[in-house]
Chains A and B, each alone.
Chain A
Amino acid sequence: MTGDFLAVDRITRSFGGLKAVGGDAGLSFSIGKGAFLGLIGPNGAGKSTVFNLICGVLKPNSGQVILDGTVLSDLTVSEIAARGLGRTFQTPRAFPSLSVLENVLVGADNEGEHVLAALSRRWRARDAELTEKAFDVLARVGLADRAADSVSNLSGGELRMLEVARQLIRDPRILLLDEPTAGVDPNLQRKLSALLAGLHRDGTTMIVVEHNLHFLLEIADRVVVLQSGELLAEGSPGEIKSDARVISAYLGANHAA
């Protein structure tokens, strides 16, 4: 697995005895530096759980996750984040007492976040710089004119974009997005698609969970399909589109729904 930027190595995770990820053998897949991986699968396949296992919110029952040569098992969520991993949540999370701009600024590393630095006001120059960057990032996700707004005035789709912006200001080396298009209007979806393609071009490693396959298969360069927590198929978007097992898994899910 050398050369992989992120390797998920035989992980399993169950909740109350029910296996959610990895089945018996464990789930493995990996992603090279700068690659764009689509992660798909029917509802309840374990996609979000895999994200939680990668970013440290959940710990695997067995197996490990390796990021750029470091085993993440013993690290906390913030330590993993500090190693350049960014993620969004399926249900967007925002800080309600902070403005849209401040919600983005919280994403940045700022030396003013140490108590003595806060007293000395050394943070001012850096904060001005970051504010400029925050406006730039907000423009990229279509929220430029909402900077001063309260987050309670944002729609579900806008909150999703805000969460992306909060991650972008950190310049993550690897970015995990959980259903970024859900609730986002088609206009903004096109903008998002261009944004993700741009990040990919600039070398950010991406993993995107998405139910909107039109959106995803156009920009991903590889796809992993999960079903009941196990790897169902893996390949290029073209291969996945024509894979009989994938089609039936999705049709099956649709029939069930």
Chain B
Amino acid sequence: MIWAQLLTTVVMFGSVYAVLTLALNLQYARGGMINFGMVAYFAAGAYAYAIVTQAPPEGLDQYLFGFAAPWWAGFLAAGLASLAFAVLTGWPTLRLRGEYLALTTFAFAEVFHSVLLNERRIGNGSVGLSNVERPDVAWTGLDDTIVYAVAALTMMLATAYVFNRILASPYGRVLDAIREDELAAQTVGKKITRIRFEVFLISAIPVGFAGALYAMITTLVSPTLYTAEVTFTVWIALVLGGERTIVGAVLGTMALIFIQESLRVYPFETVRAAQIAASAEEILTGAIFIVMLRWQPFEKLMKKGRPS
């Protein structure tokens, strides 16, 4: 039973995170853009979903907006919010290269995080928005967790399908060309800034959707859930999966979430033990990252299978 539960949790959270890894794969591994602020697009989606679906403020509520809209409207709003945030952050930064882009996206995400933390009128500040609306899934006759796991898996597969379709087209080819030699791409007339910007926007949309789904799953949207740790987890997953492929991005995420979640299923007797386990999880994640970067075992394995 505990294994079935673990599997469901891993599929559920793994799929949500895999959407982010897929976006990162498109942006970085193929588009050559280093985004160290992935969590912000995820958070934008989650907050948009919560705000659009929640009831208007009353009594002690400190937030200003609530539209009591149905879940699907919130879901669409989440994609739009993430897209809007990508327009806002991508437009001024995409001319920057490499580490400069990494720093700016990171800074944008930190600013966004501190706005959410301190601005009570958007999302109740540090308290966050609780009792987030979730669609009624009783009609399926299944456990909620299973339904959300299936929903997350479907969303992840749809994202992978769409991204794969984009990357398998001449567009993917141009993306590779721009990443490898900007100048050579420009001398055959490629509008590299436009194409980069497009990729940045396209990849942000499913991240917003994933944010909405995550909000439905956790039923809580608060700044503590959307820290830079999310960004780092996704980066580690991407490195773990071997960077260049869609399948790698998905497997890397699933493996990482599996490792993290399996440490959590152990029924700890004391709070102290649970705290130690949580630290152990962080150390383990860090160690995996270092091993991956240093020895790149999967990259080497894949290269072996390929004719050089």
- Cβ contacts A69-89/B at 8 Å (1 or 0 each): 000000011100110001101
Q: Are B171 and A96 in contact (CB under 8 A)?
A: no
CA gap between A82 and B186 in the complex, in Å: 9
Cβ of B173 under 8 Å from chain A: yes
Cβ of B120 under 8 Å from chain A: no
Which residues of B have CB within 8 Å of A119?
Answer: 162, 165-166, 169
Q: Are B189 and A81 in contact (CB under 8 A)?
A: yes
Q: Are B181 and A95 in contact (CB under 8 A)?
A: yes
- Cβ contacts A91-111/B at 8 Å (1 or 0 each): 001111110001001111110
CA gap between A15 and B287 in the complex, in Å: 48
Main secondary structure of the interface of B (DSSP, over half): helix
CA gap between A77 and B308 in the complex, in Å: 33
Q: Whose C-beta in chain A lies nearest to the C-beta of B169?
A: A118
Cβ of A50 under 8 Å from chain B: no
Q: Are A105 and B171 in contact (CB under 8 A)?
A: no
Q: Are A95 and B183 in contact (CB under 8 A)?
A: no
Q: A102, A106, A110, A170: which has the most chain B beta carbons within 10 Å?
A: A106
What's the nearest-Cβ distance from chain B to residue A141, in Å? 16
Q: Are A76 and B186 in contact (CB under 8 A)?
A: yes
Which residues of B have CB within 8 Å of A106?
Answer: 173-174, 177, 185, 188, 190
Cβ of A121 under 8 Å from chain B: yes
CA gap between A33 and B158 in the complex, in Å: 52
Q: Are B189 and A112 in contact (CB under 8 A)?
A: no
Q: Are B177 and A95 in contact (CB under 8 A)?
A: yes
Which residues of A have CB within 8 Å of B195?
Answer: 113
Which residues of B have CB within 8 Å of A115?
Answer: 166, 171, 198-199, 202
Q: Are B169 and A109 in contact (CB under 8 A)?
A: no
Q: Are B189 and A118 in contact (CB under 8 A)?
A: no
Which residues of B have CB within 8 Å of A97?
Answer: 176, 180
Other-chain residue from B176, B184, B190 in contact with A93 (beta carbon distance below 8 A): B184
Main secondary structure of the interface of A (DSSP, over half): mixed
Cβ of A204 under 8 Å from chain B: no
Q: Are B171 and A113 in contact (CB under 8 A)?
A: yes
Q: Are A109 and B189 in contact (CB under 8 A)?
A: yes
CA gap between A153 and B117 in the complex, in Å: 55
Which residues of A have CB within 8 Å of B180?
Answer: 95-98
Cβ of B191 under 8 Å from chain A: yes
CA gap between A106 and B195 in the complex, in Å: 14
What's the nearest-Cβ distance from chain B to residue A104, in Å? 10
Q: CB within 8 Å of A: which of B155-207? A: 162, 165-166, 169-174, 176-177, 180-181, 183-192, 195, 198-199, 202
* A112 with B169, Cβ < 8 A, contacts A57-B183, A78-B190, A81-B187 known: yes
| 5 more CB-based (< 8 A) A-B contacts, given A81-B186, A118-B169 | A77-B187, A78-B189, A93-B183, A106-B174, A108-B188
The 3 closest A-B pairs by CB, nearest first: A118-B169, A112-B170, A118-B171
Please report A residues at the B interface, Cβ cutoff 8 Å: 55, 57, 76-78, 81-82, 86-87, 89, 93-98, 102, 105-110, 112-115, 117-119, 121, 123, 127, 150, 166-167, 170
30 example contacts (A-B, Cβ-Cβ < 8 A) are as follows A77-B186, A78-B192, A86-B187, A89-B184, A93-B181, A93-B184, A95-B176, A95-B177, A95-B180, A95-B181, A96-B180, A98-B177, A98-B180, A102-B173, A105-B173, A106-B173, A106-B174, A107-B188, A112-B171, A113-B174, A113-B190, A114-B171, A115-B166, A115-B199, A118-B169, A118-B171, A119-B169, A123-B170, A166-B188, A167-B188
